[in-house]
Amino acid sequence: MKSVVPSSSYGGKRRWRGLVIAVLGLVILSMLVPLVFLLGLHNGFHSPSGYIYEQKTSPSTQNSIQRYDVGHNHNHNRSKGEQPNHVQDLITKFEPTLPKDALKNYAGEDKNGTISSGSNDDKPGGLKVPPNAVQQPPPSSNNPRGGYIDQVIRTKTSSNDEGGKSCELTFGSYCLWQQEHKEDMKDFMIKKLKDQLFVARSYYPSIAKLPSQDKLSRQLKQNIQELEHVLSESTTDADLPPLIEKKSQKMEVAIARAKSVPLDCNNVDKKLRQIFDLTEDEADFHMKQSAFLYKLNVQTMPKSLHCLSLKLTVEYFKSSHYDEDKAAAEKFKDSSLYHYVIFSNNVLAATVVINSTVMHAKDSQNQVFHVLTDGQNYYAMKLWFLRNTYKEASIEVLNVEHLDLDNQKGDPLHLSLPEEFRVSFQDVDNPSMSQIRTEYISIFSHLHYLLPDIFRNLNKVVVLDEDVVIQQDLSVLWNIQMGEKVNGAMQFCSVRLGRLRSYLGQKGFSPNSCAWMSGLNIIDLVRWRELGLTQTYQRLIKELSIQEGPMKGSAWSASLVTFENKIYPLNESWVVSGLGHDYVIDTQAINTALVLHYNGKMKPWLDLGIPKYKSYWKKFLNKEDQLLSECNVYS
């Protein structure tokens, strides 16, 4: 007899089995999903948002080139002519700012703007594949060529970046650009030692407070002292001792150990800020000290020139065989000759002015030079020009302290050289605020206004500053007819006096008048005496001192007012000025100029002189003179 199983019981068993299968499936899925993420298999799937994730490859597949179908999951329902644009938008948005030339060997762009790969041949727009790279065929797709992006995963280079990580040659890699444009840092080791010292000082106070880190504290202190000693004696890498690499490595190890110790970050930060403030104060101090030493350097006679002056003075009194040319005494008063006046207390400077003038003169026998100096350098100047001849030119050396002038009321005279004023102003040709022009404008000293009384027998003189070099024959100056003018000088009409009120004060001159300079000046002494300009200048000096006090610009204001409307402008191309402060003067203008004027603080006989302009001055020195070698004058 057959037993009959109820249908309800059979259906219950089927439901129970289905439930068991569902539970087992959920358990298996719950185990597989974490496993997928752990193994990194999710990188092979496409993001729903359309972003592309770079696949991390194993060493065996590191050199492969894989093509990703960007629109694979989104183009099921699209027509074949429809193009995905979101990838192109991403490329445009995140396009690297590097120049294309930096990456031309690693990637190319096709006409659609996408990065394309080519063969190993050098085809236009192609992408060079490494020799050991394996190219895999792209997955099949119905999308057109424009819907693909070829991503290159390249081998890592052997070069490392500054962080010690290997440089991976990927499109837009900063590491790649850094390697191609890397430049050697000047004095790299000195900068590295300073950085190490800075960091070690910031950690040391906190480490020293920990009893458990006593050994590390001593090590840091010793390394700090060693680096301080090295840096106190070295300013460039060439000055460093041979074993400096080992000292730097020891400091690096000590710093690494200090960083591994748990510390209060606030203490380290506080120490860093303290060192930074001290560094700023030290930099400010050195800037002020540098400015002071620079000013001291340019205003002090160099040791070699002082030595030369002393030796010449001693030699003058030791020797008596240098006799003055009495025939030349008649030339000093002959107004028909070409008379040049030089105010100087520098033997070499006066020598260069005279030598350069004589060397370019067509007829030197008509040239007479009057060198006015002080009592300290008088005998040195006297002997120098007695033992050195300059063709057929005659040279007279005068001690201004022994001059007997009628208008002097018993007050002794002192040598005063032309004064220079540093003026910064807005350039008229470039009126933008960024175009600020700086000039050193030199003016006559108080002694210049005594020229008509010093040279009573002369009608005209040419005044040359001691910081000029003559490059052509100056005889053309004596043929200039100045009319009613008194002073032939270089003018700066781009600088109107009204714009220099902060330098000159508020009164005594026309705002539209042009500034003029000493350096090369033609003086009509006859007209000067007729107008009484010496008395006018002395009166203005007294008035300005009473009105505005003893300001530095009083002499400048008095000079400008004295010669207002009495300046004969010389040709601008005759004189090139600024060789004592301007580094960018046109070489063509220098070579064709009549006179070179080294106005500014960096005179050619100083170590601070601008090197590229010194050669124009050096070539007129008599380098064979024995005293120059004895005093180490190698200018």
Cα(28)–Cα(130) distance, rounded to whole angstroms? 42
The yes-or-no verdict on residue 219 having pLDDT over 50 is: yes
The DSSP secondary-structure symbol of 390 reads: -
The amino acid at residue 6 is P
The yes-or-no verdict on residue 343 having pLDDT over 90 is: yes
Q: What is the per-residue pLDDT across 43-101, written as a single tens digit (0 to 9) for each?
A: 444 433 333 333 333 334 343 333 334 344 444 444 444 444 544 554 444 444 334 34
What is residue 605's predicted lDDT score, i.e. its pLDDT? Answer: 92
The domains located in the chain, with CATH, are 59-73+82-180 (no CATH), 325-349+403-630 (3.90.550)
Give the residue carrying structure tokens 């060439």. 238
- For the chain, what's the residue count? 635
What is residue 552's predicted lDDT score, i.e. its pLDDT? Answer: 57
Confidence of residue 113 (pLDDT cuts 50, 70, 90): very low
What values do phi and psi take at 481, rounded to 5? -100, 110
Across residues 502-516, what is the average pLDDT?
Answer: 70
10 Å Cβ neighbour count for 68?
19
Distance between start and end Cα atoms, the chain: 137
Q: What percent of the chain has pLDDT over 90?
A: 32
What is residue 339's predicted lDDT score, i.e. its pLDDT? Answer: 96
The yes-or-no verdict on residue 372 having pLDDT over 90 is: yes
* DSSP SS3 for 168: strand
Q: Concatenated DSSP letters for 510-535?
A: -TTPEEEEEEEEEEEHHHHHHHTHHH
What is residue 178's predicted lDDT score, i.e. its pLDDT? Answer: 64
The amino acid at residue 45 is F
Cα(8)–Cα(301) distance, rounded to whole angstroms? 124
Cα(88)–Cα(157) distance, rounded to whole angstroms? 29
How far CA 546 is from CA of 444, 541, 557, in Å, comes to 21, 9, 14
Nearest of 562, 558, 486, 573 to residue 522 by alpha carbon: 486
Tokens of 586: 């046109």
Tokens of 464: 């040359």
HSE-CB of 375 using CA atoms within 13 angstroms: 6
What is residue 172's predicted lDDT score, i.e. its pLDDT? Answer: 53
Query: Which H or E run contains 424?
Result: strand 419-426
What is residue 383's predicted lDDT score, i.e. its pLDDT? Answer: 93
Q: What is the per-residue pLDDT across 280-339, written as a single tens digit (0 to 9) for each?
A: 888 888 888 888 888 888 878 888 889 999 999 999 998 876 666 676 788 899 999 999
Pairing of strands 367-373, 394-399: parallel
Across residues 340-350, what is the average pLDDT?
Answer: 95
Q: For residues 97 and 221, which has the higher predicted lDDT (pLDDT)?
A: 221
What is residue 579's predicted lDDT score, i.e. its pLDDT? Answer: 93
What is residue 429's predicted lDDT score, i.e. its pLDDT? Answer: 56
Q: What is the per-residue pLDDT across 128-187, written as a single tens digit (0 to 9) for each?
A: 444 444 444 444 444 333 333 333 333 334 444 444 455 555 555 566 666 666 666 678
Query: Which H or E run contains 575?
Result: strand 575-577
Tokens of 502: 């902060």
Cα(422)–Cα(580) distance, rounded to whole angstroms? 12
Cα(23)–Cα(29) distance, rounded to whole angstroms? 10
The yes-or-no verdict on residue 460 having pLDDT over 60 is: yes
Cα(593)–Cα(356) distance, rounded to whole angstroms? 13
Give the residue carrying structure tokens 């120098």. 384
Query: Which H or E run contains 200?
Result: helix 188-208
Q: What is the per-residue pLDDT across 244-279, written as a single tens digit (0 to 9) for each?
A: 999 999 999 999 999 898 888 888 888 888 888 888
What is residue 430's predicted lDDT score, i.e. its pLDDT? Answer: 57
What is residue 57's predicted lDDT score, i.e. its pLDDT? Answer: 38
Q: For residues 8 and 419, which has the higher predicted lDDT (pLDDT)?
A: 419
What is residue 440's predicted lDDT score, i.e. its pLDDT? Answer: 87
Confidence of residue 468 (pLDDT cuts 50, 70, 90): very high
Rg of the chain over Cα atoms, rounded to whole angstroms, equals 43
Whether pTM > 0.85 for this model: the answer is no
Cα(559)–Cα(444) distance, rounded to whole angstroms? 7
Cα(264)–Cα(269) distance, rounded to whole angstroms? 9
What is residue 170's predicted lDDT score, i.e. its pLDDT? Answer: 52
What is residue 332's predicted lDDT score, i.e. its pLDDT? Answer: 92
What is residue 238's predicted lDDT score, i.e. its pLDDT? Answer: 87
Across residues 457-469, what is the average pLDDT?
Answer: 95
What is residue 463's predicted lDDT score, i.e. its pLDDT? Answer: 97
What is residue 348's predicted lDDT score, i.e. its pLDDT? Answer: 93
Cα(196)–Cα(226) distance, rounded to whole angstroms? 12
What is residue 397's predicted lDDT score, i.e. its pLDDT? Answer: 95
Cα(220)–Cα(201) distance, rounded to whole angstroms? 8
Range scoring the smallest mean pLDDT among 30-39, 287-296, 566-575, 598-607: 30-39
Confidence of residue 361 (pLDDT cuts 50, 70, 90): very high
Cβ pair 320, 386 in contact under 8 A: no
Nearest of 74, 95, 96 to residue 85 by alpha carbon: 74
Mean pLDDT of the chain: 75
Which own/partner contact pairs does 240-247 have at CB distance under 8 Å and 24+ positions apart? 240/189, 240/190, 244/189, 244/193, 247/223
Q: What is the per-residue pLDDT across 418-432, written as a single tens digit (0 to 9) for each?
A: 888 887 776 655 555
Tokens of 373: 């100096």
Q: What is the per-residue pLDDT across 510-566, written as a single tens digit (0 to 9) for each?
A: 777 788 899 999 999 999 999 999 999 988 888 877 766 555 567 777 888 889 889
Cα(430)–Cα(152) distance, rounded to whole angstroms? 52
C-alpha torsion angle, residues 333, 334, 337, 343 (rounded to 10) = 10
Nearest of 206, 196, 205 to residue 226 by alpha carbon: 196
What is residue 399's predicted lDDT score, i.e. its pLDDT? Answer: 93
What is residue 558's predicted lDDT score, i.e. its pLDDT? Answer: 83
What is residue 51's predicted lDDT score, i.e. its pLDDT? Answer: 32
Spatial CB neighbours of 415, under 8 Å, sequence gap ≥ 6: 343, 345, 372, 373, 374, 400, 401, 447
Cα(473)–Cα(470) distance, rounded to whole angstroms? 8
